[in-house]
Amino acid sequence: LYISTLQPRGAVRQSIDTTGLPTGNPTIREVGGETPIEDATELIEKLPNAANLIIDGTDPLEQQDRSTYLSFLGTLKERLVDTDSIGLLHCLGDSSHRRTATLRAADIVLEFETIRPGIEGDAAHYVTIPKYRPADTATEPVTLTFATDSRTGPIESPTGSN
């Protein structure tokens, strides 16, 4: 299930269809308007067993009433555990004053960074893992190397990285 809070369903479908990678055929739903948390909760309550859930992005949900948002996070986590599912919450930047609650609720936090040295240089991509429950976190950023044609290959870890 792909829940989009920022893009129309058609734009999400087009992005998925043009990746060049196997994605399956995810159900895409758009939530927004006056009741994004209620709409997202209704979809999450119908989550089947062993599902993959993506919420892209969290900002509109985080901007709602604090107690409502905290309740949503609790419902989300409970439903993911009950259905043995995986949830990925896409957090754009750090613009939300409720981001702390989102990060606290997460079992794993990945932070991606792209550094562009200039017009002539290649961009460098890094991922850090500041939170990984229940194990310790990685202390050093991991450099990501993309296949020459990023539409045809997976992200590869550098040789010797974990």
In the chain, which ranges are continuous DSSP H helix? 9-17, 36-44, 59-62, 66-82, 99-105
pTM of the model: 0.81
137 — pLDDT class (breaks 50, 70, 90): low
How many whole angstroms separate alpha carbon 130 and alpha carbon 128? 6
Q: Look at residue 152 in the predicted model and tell me its pLDDT.
A: 44
Q: Report the run of H or E that residue 155 belongs to, with start and end.
A: strand 155-156
Residue showing tokens 């870890």: 157
Q: Is a pLDDT exceeding 70 seen at residue 44?
A: yes
Token duo for residue 69? 């948002």
Q: What interhelical angle do 36-44 and 66-82 show, nearest 10?
A: 10
Mean pLDDT of 131-138: 73
Q: Is a pLDDT exceeding 50 seen at residue 3?
A: yes
